[in-house]
Every structure is written in structure tokens, then in C-alpha cells.
A and B are shown apart, each in its own frame.
Chain A
Amino acid sequence: MTSQLKPHLRRLEAEAIFIMREVVANFANPVMLYSIGKDSSVMLHLAMKAFYPAKPPFSLLHIDTTWKFREMIAFRDETVRRLGLNLTVHTNLEGKASGINPFDHGSSNYTQVMKTEALKQALDAGGYDAAFGGARRDEEKSRAKERVFSFRTTSHGWDPKNQRPELWSLYNTRIGTGETIRVFPLSNWTELDIWEYILAEQIPIVPLYLSEARPVVERGGQLIMADDERMRLKPGETPVKRRVRFRTLGCYPLTAAVESDATTIEDIVEEMLLATTSERQGRLIDHDESGSMEKKKREGYF
């Protein structure tokens, strides 16, 4: 019940709802990027609220690299069924056919082909003029400078120097033919806000966020879960069951687990308050170099 939310969560909720309605009122063909993670779960929950009693008047889009955790895919299909929404799943078939994978091609190439290129293909195919994403400003430095309505060129590129000033809640929604806008309704949320909100609203999340004994190998100081038989083990590596959970979810070979005993959302919130590393620590694709998120975004990454 909304009135029981803490004041700052209520303010964030109202802001996100306003942003979503602004998109629906101004764009012909919006779509919501659904990545199955905690932020996407919150964003979807907010969309259910924003348009109630109507269903969200747009479909969901998932970019499936084919390397997601199996539990994520199961959760995705269950969520779409439960809420009665439309979901489009897109995979870069060319990339798949040429066997692009996270083991042989390096995280940077793999991300470019299976995520960034795949996303651009799906956006072009759908003719979407606006796409919601669950990114938050507290995630990363170049994200901290991102607009709520982020303008993209006809080739989906992000030019950080050519973004529109964004004052009050007056979002400039005008675009030319072929240009698009990425919209981030969770811009002002922090990781802690996300968890507190999930707790308060009892939003379903993928069980991978909660601790359980899972088969992992230790690699360069990171714990990688062997989610299926495609996991390439190096000589001497044997998956060992350890109590782990994930702070962020993506492609399993590129997503590190943390050791944890947090089995409830309350535990997670508590754990977060004492955390000494950031959530993106577990994202191997961010570690190439410190400006790498900005570079990926310029190329069209979310």
C-alpha cells in the first residue's frame, strides 16, 4: 500500500510513474527493455502502477544472448504469463550462427555483438521511437551524467556532449525521423532504494539474488557459476558448491557471485548496508578500462 512507503521511496515512485506516463503520452511506439534483473522487476512493477487499471500500453523486449542463467529465463516467462503482457525476445542470430561466445571472443567483443548489436537490430525491427531502460545514475560515473530522456541518433549512438538540458520535470520529447529516446525512470534510485522498495512492495525477483549452495569455480578472484554444461572449465577447475548469491544478473560466464548467507530480502538490505564493494564489481564487462561504460554507450549500449 503506497501510503506505507517511506517518504523518499514514495517520491521516487511518483517520479518514475510521471516519467512513464510522459513517454506514453508523447511517443507513438514505446517499448520497455526487460532484462529480468532487480531493476527491471522494479521498473515493471512501476509500469503496472502507472497505467492501472489499464495494462502498460507497450510491450517488453528482452535481448537474449543465449547465455543468461536458466533461472532468469524461467522467471521471465513466468512473469510475463502472470502479468499478461506481451514480450518480444530477440537474439542476434548472425552472432549466434558464427558461434560468438563469452569464452572465446572476450567480454568486450561478445558484448558488442550479442548485446549492443542485438539491441540495435531489435529496436530497428520494432520501429520503436522510445525505449525504457532500468539504468540508475548511482551505478557508474558516466551514468551519473545521463539524462532521464537520453537522446540517440538515427544509428542509436549516444553523444554525451549533445544531450538536452533537462530542467524540472519538463522533458523535451521531440525527435526527428529515425531518431530515438532512451528513457530511464529509475535514474534517481540507488541500489539500496531498489531493495527497500522490493521489500516494501513484495516484488517477485529471480531467486539467484538470494543465497543458496551453487556450483562455482574461482577465477581471478571472482566466483563464476557453472550454470549449464556449456561452462568451459580450465585445467584443474572443478565446480564446488558454495553458499553464494548475485548482486547483479547477466550472462552467467560474465557475472560473478558473492559469498553470502542472505536468504531473505531483509538479509539483503542488511548486507548492503555493510557492503564494501559496488554492485558493478560483479560485472566483468565493466572492468576493461575505467571509461568503458561511456564507450559502450556511445556505440549504442543501454
Chain B
Amino acid sequence: MAEPAILSPSQEASVRSLALGDADKSLLRFLTCGSVDDGKSTLIGRLLFDSKRLFEDQIATLEKDSRKFGTVGDDMDLALLVDGLEAEREQGITIDVAYRFFATEKRKFIVADTPGHEQYTRNMATGASTADLAVLLIDARKGILSQTRRHATIASLLGIRHVVLAINKIDLVNYDRSVFDSIVAAFDADAGHYGFATRVAIPISARYGDNVSRHSEHMPWYRGPTLIEHLENVELSSGAAATRPLRFPVQWVNRPDLTFRGYAGTLAAGTVRPGDEVVVARSGQAARVERIVTHDGDLAEASAEDAVTLTLDREIDLSRGDILVPSGARPDVSDQFAAHLIWMAEEPMLPGRPYLMKIGTRTVGAAVTELKHRVEMDTLKPLAAKTLSLNDIGFANFSLAEPIAFDPYDDVRTTGAFILVDRFTNQTVAAGMIRFGLRRATNIHRQALTIDKAARSGAKAQKPAILWFTGLSGAGKSTIANLVEQKLHLAGRHTYLLDGDNVRHGLNRDLGFTDADRVENIRRVAETAKLFVDAGLIVLASFISPFRSERQLARDLVEPGEFVEIFVDTPLSVAEARDPKGLYRKAREGKIVNFTGIDSPYEAPESAELRLEAGSASAEDLADRVIDYLASNGFIPR
């Protein structure tokens, strides 16, 4: 164990004057990444230790923990300083991102210590999203691994421009220069894929401190900076956002009383002054900035990263999620774009499935329309793919429920980054970086039609609706739906029945039964049903539709009250005993795969408008219950 660095009296004096004086220390946020066991936690422990950020009581705890969990014999295990969760200390690995703080005379640092295990890649991406620089740890004995490439790729996708190759455990290869040189050469062979602005390689030993904060006497062949020297001096492009055109996402409308109406938000880019003309990016409505209000008095100017409140010289339609921009430098406004996606959930990404997208201060419904490719980490090559699994990185086209304003991520991070949230579990399932808007959406304008839905359905004396029958195969959906349609038809109502099997002979004949294809199957049916609703019809849709998300998609396509979910609730054993088409038998024999109820899940509705317990009554009686529901809810006359 090396001696801890002790500040000399002159250093003490300067530290004091720096803290109390008006010196402007800059802040560098960086992350450490790399494969498991490459020594990330040890390196951060070393940085804290060497920068004298450890207090006596923390060192006492560390000594105690080293005896209990340590992996380095009698020495203090510096990694235990940062592995904060009990599971981490017990397993000797980092699971979650930890944020650490230290300072030198020149800079303050916030370090994100991120996990190396592949299953925690999402946490590495989390750390990278707020970092200016990445320290990529490489074990000198192992060289570049697939996980090293994965982390370099994520860092580069997330817009990190500076990378440090910290070639660690150099003591274990006898401080051998040729090992160092060959690892650097191997990294540089891939460098074209990453596009980092700077790449500095440093041979270090985190455990003993060589070239971390002191130059190593073991490597006279290395004449570059120590890691700390480099971190203190690397030039950052911070402030670049301030030189771009204004982007002011409205976060919250501040209306304490009738006399004041302000728009609170943090500038994502650019600067703003009173008198500037701004427009709402989505609507083009214009106004002038009147005041920049803060608790400390009005400002003459605000720039990127400032949290302020703007007032405007006139009332315009402006609320949370809108972006104020200069009229001469507007962002893209579109409901379709292409983006990189890092998938972070156990549940796979399914094209067509509706997610919630949070971008800036706006949240909209969104779906992947086309997965262009997945990045294969071992070769860094794009591969064709139908879905993305946990930790996969892909490139995809997106379609949104309504147009939004955005910039390419590399231009403005805040207006080009998004997360996807699952509508049911509320989990964050992905992070994305917009690359470019898709023009085709911008040029297709809706045609306004004179005869509308109300006019069409009024002519038929009915309220249009989708009656969505969901349930297991053989539950009785089609039988009941067929009876309902007959009854409606006899009563003079105008209907149409979309049946799962029939649709697969035509519109959806190109689709199979994988989860991805099932989602697309339902999306097309839902869109078709929507057209018929628009025509004023009562549409009966009879589909297994096993996933809640897609039924929700169908529900969201039409107006509130137009979607009637009818759960034909038949126990699997009953449906399987009926087996009208012999499908369950084939599934059990393994001749059909992805069969709902057998080897593919059915997610039962939680709040269907109607639940029909098949087996409790005849199909005829159940059909009558549907008719009663329609009559008592005003869809058809009594």
C-alpha cells in the first residue's frame, strides 16, 4: 500500500484561498468503464485516497470491511470504498452506478463508477449520459474484450468526445511497454467506429498508484501525463451549447395570480435576452421576451443550463412540453425520426408496440415502426434484427402519436435525447438518441373532409364503436361475435366483423406468430377498425390479442368511449378440451410454437368493459348481454 498523499503546508494555504477566494474551478464529470475485474472501483478508491478525500472514520470502516470482504490479502481493498450495496460487497462486483466526488487544486470532479458486467450495461449508459469524458479501464493481461468495445461504443453513441485508455494492472505484466503498445494499437484499429475527438493512453496500476497521481518509477518509457494531470488539463467543449440557437423547453407555467404568467424552464441551448423574438417550435406562434425573472432580480441575459422564468409580451398558446426557439433557427418538427436505441428492459423491444416517450419536458406515445439493425458488439457491425433484448443497441425508425420539435442529439443533447417508458409497468425500458427526422412525415398533410364521423353514424342512428373480443383460442370469441353481429344486423344496425383467422388470409398474410408479428397483426387490425369507426360502423373485432399493450394501442386509436373491451373468459382447460380446430393438440405435440396459453403468454384484461364467463351461460345468452350493454350505453336505440 502506498503512502497517502499528504498536502504540504503551501498546498494547504492554496487550497484554502481557492475555496474561500473567487477562483473559478471548473467541474469535470467523467465515468470509469470497462470489463468486469479491470479495476474500476479500485481506481476510484485510489483517486479518492490520493486526493485526500478520505476521512479517518471512512478509512477505519474500510479497514474493517477489508478484513471482512477484502480480495487483496492484508492490504486495504480500495474497491470497497465505492461498492456501496451489501450485495456488491459480498459478491465483490459493482452492480449500480455510484457517484463520487473529489477535487484537486485545478478542478472539481464528479465520477460515475459504472458496472462492468454485461447484464448491467444499462447502468454504464446511465453514467455516460451525464459525462464529458470516459476513462476506459483495460486489464493489461487481457487486452481489449467484447465488453471494452461495448463500452467504447456506448460512450461514443452518448456523445462523449474524450476517452482515456487506462491500461491497468501494468504491474502484473512487469511494466512491459510492448504489452501497452499492442493494446493501444488494437484499440486504434477500431477507433474509426467510435469517432472520439481525443484518445489518451496511460499505463497505470490502480492498486499501487503508478501514473494515477504520481509518475511511476517503474515505467521510464512512459513520458505522458499521469491520469490526474490529464483529467485536470483536458480541454472540454463545455459552453458549446451556449453558442447554438436558443432552445427553451417550457417546464412549468408559473401563475401565482392573475397579474403574472411566466414560463419556467432551463435553457437547453443558446442565449436569450429581453426583446428577443421567439416562436413556439410546434405551432409557429410568435412573441417577444419581456423579462427574464429570477429570485435574484431580472437578468439581462440567460444562457444554456440557466434555470429561469420568461415572461412574454403577449398571450400565446404555450404550455409544458413546448419549446421556444428563434424564428430563424427552428428545430425539426415531425412525428417520425430515426434514432439509436439502448434497450434496458428484460422484456424485449417489439416494433409496433406503443410506449411512452419522454423527450425534454414532453411525453408522447411512440412506437418503433422499423428496426433497421442491431449492433453486433464483437464486430461492431450492423446486423438485421426483429427485436432488441436487454442491453442490445439498435438503430430504428420511430413514429409518434403527434408531431414534436427536436434536434439531432449531436447538435443539442437535451432536445435530442429520450427515454421510453412501459405504459403498464412504468419502467424505463430504453434510452434513445435522435439522429435525423424522416421527411416523409413532414410532407404528408391530413386532408380535411366535409362529411365526418358524426355525420356518417348519425345517418345510421347509431354510435360507432369497436367491440373488441379478446380471449384464448377456442374461448368462443368468434361464435359470440358472430351472434352479436346477426342480432345487430336484424335490428338494422350497420356493422362489420374483423375476424383473426380471416384477416390472416389477406391483410396480414405476411405475418407469423412471433411476439413481434402478433404486435404488428393487432396494430393493422386496430388501424382498420379505426377506419370503419370513422365510417360510422359498429366494428366487431375477434382476436386472441394476448398483450395488454396492443389492446391499449387499439383503445387509444379511437375516442374515449368508442372502445368496448369484451373479455371472453374461458379457463385454459375448458378451451383446450373444446379444441375446435385441433390446435391445442398440435401445440402440445410441439407442431405449433408460440401458441397462446401453451408457450406464449396471455395477459388477461384488468378492467374490460364486459367480462363474459364462457361456460356460465349459452353463447346466445352471452351475445344478449353484449346487446344489452350497447343499448344501455347509448350505442344503439333500445
- A residues near B (Cβ < 8 Å) are 1-3, 6-8, 10-11, 13-14, 17-18, 21-22, 24-25, 48-55, 137-138, 140-145, 160-161, 163-170, 172, 174-176, 187-188, 190, 192, 196, 266, 269-270, 273-278, 280-281, 290-291, 294
Contacts and interface: CB of A to CB of B under 8 A. Distances in A.
Nearest to A276: B56
Given A270-B20, A278-B58, A17 B307 contact: yes
B418 interface: yes
A49 B16 CA distance: 29
Contact of A144 (B99, B260, B295): B99
A7 B264 CA distance: 21
A145 B85 contact: yes
Contacts of B84: 140-145, 294
B417 A269 contact: no
B25 A18 contact: no
B97 interface: yes
Given A48-B295, A290-B64, A6 B431 contact: no
Interface string B109-131: 01000000000001101100110
A108 B463 CA distance: 64
A97 B95 CA distance: 43
Contacts, number: 178
Contacts of A175: 426
A255 B264 CA distance: 40
B183 to A, nearest CB: 30
B221 interface: no
B101 interface: yes
A79 B128 CA distance: 40
16 contacts: A7-B26, A8-B26, A10-B306, A22-B251, A49-B295, A50-B307, A53-B256, A54-B256, A137-B100, A140-B84, A160-B85, A165-B431, A166-B428, A172-B428, A273-B19, A278-B57
Given A190-B101, A281-B55, A172 B358 contact: yes
A7 B57 contact: no
Contacts of A176: 426
Given A144-B84, A144-B100, A290 B61 contact: yes
Nearest to B21: A6
B193 to A, nearest CB: 22
Contacts of B262: 53
A142 B24 CA distance: 31
Contacts of B418: 170
A165 B344 contact: yes
Contacts of B64: 290
Q: Which 7 A-B pairs have the closest CB atoms?
A: A141-B84, A54-B256, A167-B129, A17-B307, A52-B295, A49-B295, A278-B55
B428 A164 contact: yes
B98 interface: yes
Contacts of B61: 290
B85 A294 contact: yes
Interface in B256-272: 256, 260, 262, 264-266
Given A167-B419, A275-B55, 18 more contacts: A6-B22, A6-B24, A8-B27, A17-B307, A18-B251, A18-B266, A52-B309, A141-B81, A145-B97, A167-B126, A167-B129, A167-B130, A168-B413, A174-B426, A188-B101, A277-B56, A278-B58, A291-B86
Contacts of A166: 126, 428
Contacts of A54: 254-256
